[in-house]
Amino acid sequence: MALAGFIVTACASVKPVEFKKFGDTSKYKYAVVGETQSLRSAIGNTSIDSKGNTTFSSISKSINPRDVISGILMKKVWLC
């Protein structure tokens, strides 16, 4: 019999989206993406096998929302 426990953490304070449009967007030449803080999440797993051996493993990821937004805009040919 194996027992498993899961820990999920996520720490983020998300600001409301601010979008200022000053005319027809087809005439825009540049887009400015404001500064953002990285978001980090992690998950961990502890398991105990039938002999009583304990194993712990975890994975964490970090991403900056600014990079995601810039990537989407580049994909749509807004940024070069």
Three-class DSSP labels, the chain: CCEEEEEEEEECCCCCCCCCCCCCHHHCCCCCCCCCCCEEEEEEEEEECCCCCEEEEEEEEEECHHHHHHHHHHHCCCCC
- Identify whether the C-beta of residue 43 lies closer than 8 Å to the C-beta of residue 25: no
Residue 60's pLDDT is 92
The pair of structure tokens assigned to 49 is 């096998």
Note the pTM of the prediction, 2 decimals: 0.46
pLDDT tens profile 9-63: 555 556 676 767 767 767 777 777 888 888 899 999 999 988 989 999 999 999 9
Residue 34's pLDDT is 82
Q: Is residue 28 part of a domain?
A: yes
Q: How many domains are there within the chain?
A: 1
**What domain range includes position 69?**
3-12+22-75
CATH code for position 37: 2.20.25
**Residue 3: pLDDT band with limits 50, 70, 90:** very low
Give me the residue label for tokens 């600014």. 66
